[in-house]
Amino acid sequence: MKIRVFDNRHDAGIYVAAVAESVIEAKVQPVLGLATGASPISFYDALVNLHRCGLDLSNVVTINLDEYIGLSIEHEQSYHCFMRQNLFDHTNLRSENTYLPNGMADDLAFACEQYDEVIRRHPIDLQILGIGVNGHIGFNEPDDLLLSKTHIVRLRQETVESNARFFEHIDDVPKEAITVGVQAILQADQIVLMAFGAQKADIIAKAVLGSVRTDVPASILQLHRHVTLVLDRESASKLPMAF
């Protein structure tokens, strides 16, 4: 596992965008697995900037990790909306090349199956991840089991509380989501996990230094051979390395 510790999110985002550019330029139809939350925003800013500087994204396929169940794609806290605001609307990504789970599907189980089919057709070259304060990746929450396929998940109370910062009231936070499973994440060629701030220090230390356990979902990244953790000094502060 490679670890890079930056002074700030801005510099970290530029680094991740450079990683993405090298992946994009190496493939005819590159596939990026994308995440939401505050952590990847500096990456999206830098990627938009690279696009303005000439990086063509018209052949890039994007596959998002997750979406809330029950929020329309127009809802400002839906991940569809997040992706439009932070990336899609500012680049030449083609809408037919951008995939997010359908949290409004009548048949959610079928929507999950279809999403796995999308991932099967478009193996992920670079997976961007954030990490929840409880160690979740995508919305794979700490549990006795980690599910390999795309599935419906009931969000843990700590996730609802953490994501309440984006909503007017905690009761507005959806309690369920669709998330890709750990198979889609682990099958990506390369993974970059972004985490910033002191509130992520404990979980980063657990995920990196502890055993691989289903109650710390991000710890499974220890099993992947090409993972880079992109941190700031605060989130890296419990790792026993001298930076």
Which one-letter amino acid corresponds to residue 170?
A: I
DSSP single-letter state for residue 213: B
What CA–CA distance (Å, rounded) separates 33 from 188? 8
Cβ 35 to ligand GLP shortest distance, Å: 5
Binding mask 1-40 for ligand GLP (x = CB under 6 A): ----------------------------------xxxxx-
Strands 66-68 and 176-179: what pairing?
A: antiparallel
By beta-carbon proximity to ligand GLP, the closer residue of 44 and 88 is 44
The answer to whether 91 and 24 have CB atoms below 8 angstroms apart is: no
State yes or no: residue 42 binds ligand GLP (CB under 6 A). Answer: no
Cβ 43 to ligand GLP shortest distance, Å: 11
Per annotation, catalytic residue among 51, 80, 122, 136: 136
State yes or no: residue 132 binds ligand GLP (CB under 6 A). Answer: yes
State yes or no: residue 65 binds ligand GLP (CB under 6 A). Answer: yes
What CA–CA distance (Å, rounded) separates 48 from 167? 26
- Asked if 136 is an active-site residue, the reply is yes
State yes or no: residue 101 binds ligand GLP (CB under 6 A). Answer: no
The answer to whether 217 and 142 have CB atoms below 8 angstroms apart is: yes
State yes or no: residue 141 binds ligand GLP (CB under 6 A). Answer: no
State yes or no: residue 86 binds ligand GLP (CB under 6 A). Answer: no
Segments of 27-72 assigned E as strands: 31-34, 61-64, 66-68
Of 230, 34, 191, 213, residue with least CA distance to 134: 213
Q: Give the residues lining the site for ligand GLP (CB under 6 A).
A: 35-39, 65-66, 130-132, 138-139, 159, 163
Q: Among all residues, which ones are annotated catalytic?
A: 66, 134, 136, 141
